[in-house]
Amino acid sequence: VLGYFEQKCQASKRLAEQAATVIPGGIQHNLAFNYPFPLAMSKAEGAHLQDVDGNRYIDFLQAGGPTLLGSNDAVVQEKVIETLRECGPVTGLLHEYEFKLAELVCRHVPSVEMFRMLASGTESVMGAIRLARAYTGKKWVIKIGGAYHGWSDQLVYGMRIPGTGRREAVGIPRGATSHTQESFPNDLAAIRRRLQINRLRGGTAAIIVEPLGPESGTRPAHKDFNANLRKLCDEFGALLIFDEVVSGFRVGLSGAQGYFNVLPDLTIFGKCLTGGYPMAGGIGGRREVMMLLAGGIGGKQTKRAFVGGTLTANPLSCVAGYYSLIEMEKRNAPFLAGRAGDRLTAGLAQIIERRGLPYVVYNQGSVVHLQTSGVLLLNVRNPIQLLREVNPRKHMMEEMGAAYMAHGLVTLAGSRMYTSAADTDAIIDEALNRFDDVFGL
Ligand code: PMP
């Protein structure tokens, strides 16, 4: 495997070495590989990537999830170029596609009556929590252990490094996380206890969850978990926030809320919202709550939850989002990507079984999880224990990821894959042959 990188990836290696002199860590993407060194890509189309050395890959990273149509879709690209020619990248004033995108999101996502675009998933989570506190007048926020909601101070991933007491993300004052609480995945009784205690000390403003389960379903949500959270939120007067940055439009155009038939008060969007184009973020939800962004219903300006952003909702992002969603709808993209995810998962399960390997594979439509680290993490309930299990295996996952890469397969950290509507049966079957080769090493 290392021979592949040394022999076939010389241009990537040179670029990676240069990048490391001016970019901390040599790479700016959390999802990308840096083992043995990051590969640099120069072409992307549909289900394929090509690196600067001319090597081709089947792309199951799909930029971390936003390109449900496949990379660099020609129809969307054409619309973006048209808009760019007409009005440039930004004006700071209202644009027709701002309205058209918002209307489309409201039409597809059942709980969304109003929509506000923002620059990223991280920002949108920050905004939604601010809205929840402004609306309820309460202070606590409950998240689920292991969930990733972006890198804001109050929610940043992995609050402590197990066994050390050190924060995983440093530079955050204790006060910034002092009203964030973490609960075990799927543990409704613990969440109820927190809600009860919080009631006596300022109340719970919101429960925020990834509806597929923490880390895009790495610990999948139990069947009725989301519905039961809805009931708990109603009982205690907290808002339910779904972080649909990954699931939004991907598991269906109505998102995970359509799939589970559970309506949150607020929904966070990112990724698929702009089909991979920049500034992907947004908050949607009930009119009464959302109007606090504009000073309340009637715009009395008595109470306003402020959000902002110079380039937010620029014409290019909006037109990209609008036509990506229109094309996803026309081509039935969530279904096609989900079918590709099913085929990939079933094929991998067969190979794993035939080879008698201690691996686990499962999918939630087009989100495919492949655990090759030899432990069944699904049943680990305690997030601290989970990190203890995962951390020493990170390198193993990296090595698997590098082996996939050397066989022409790009994955997310060697353990997760996003399929797209561009994944034909033939592409999935070719990928399965390559996985079989890696598992045979
Ligand atoms: N929430 C979830 C569930 C995510 O997966 C991510 C990004 N992977 C975020 C929030 C943060 O979004 P962004 O990277 O756009 O800030």
| 3-state helix, strand and coil shares in percent for the chain, rounded to the nearest 5 | 45, 15, 40
Is the pLDDT confidence value at 27 over 90?
A: no
Size of the chain, expressed as the number of residues it contains: 441
Calculate Rg over the CA atoms of the chain.
Answer: 22
Is the CB of 211 inside a 6 Å radius of any atom of ligand 1? no
Q: How many CB atoms lie within 10 A of CB 354?
A: 10
Find out if CATH 1.10.3720.10 is the number for domain 74-331: no
Match 């998933």 to its residue by tokens.
121
pTM assigned to the model: 0.94
Amino acid in the structure at residue 364: Q
| 149 C-alpha to ligand 1 centroid (Å) | 6
| 171 C-alpha to ligand 1 centroid (Å) | 20
Every domain of the chain with CATH number 3.40.640.10 lies at 74-331
Average pLDDT, the chain: 92
Residues annotated catalytic, as ranges:
148, 243, 271
| 215 C-alpha to ligand 1 centroid (Å) | 10
Alpha helices in 275-416 (DSSP H): 287-290, 315-331, 333-355, 383-390, 394-406
Is the CB of 270 inside a 6 Å radius of any atom of ligand 1? yes
| 403 C-alpha to ligand 1 centroid (Å) | 26
Every domain of the chain with CATH number 3.90.1150.10 lies at 2-71+332-439
When pLDDT is cut at 50, 70 and 90, the band that residue 28 belongs to is confident
CATH superfamily assigned to domain 2-71+332-439: Aspartate Aminotransferase, domain 1 (3.90.1150.10)
Is the CB of 122 inside a 6 Å radius of any atom of ligand 1? yes
The pLDDT tens digits for 77-119 are: 999 999 999 999 999 999 999 999 999 999 999 999 999 999 9
Match 């996380």 to its residue by tokens.
177
Query: What's phi and psi for 207, nearest 5 deg?
Result: -110, 125
Q: Can you give the pLDDT at residue 305? A: 93
In testing the pocket of ligand 1, which one of 148, 247, 249, 267 has its CB within 8 Å of the most ligand atoms? 148
Ligand 1: nearest atom to the Cα of 247 = 3
pLDDT above 70: percentage of residues in the chain? 92
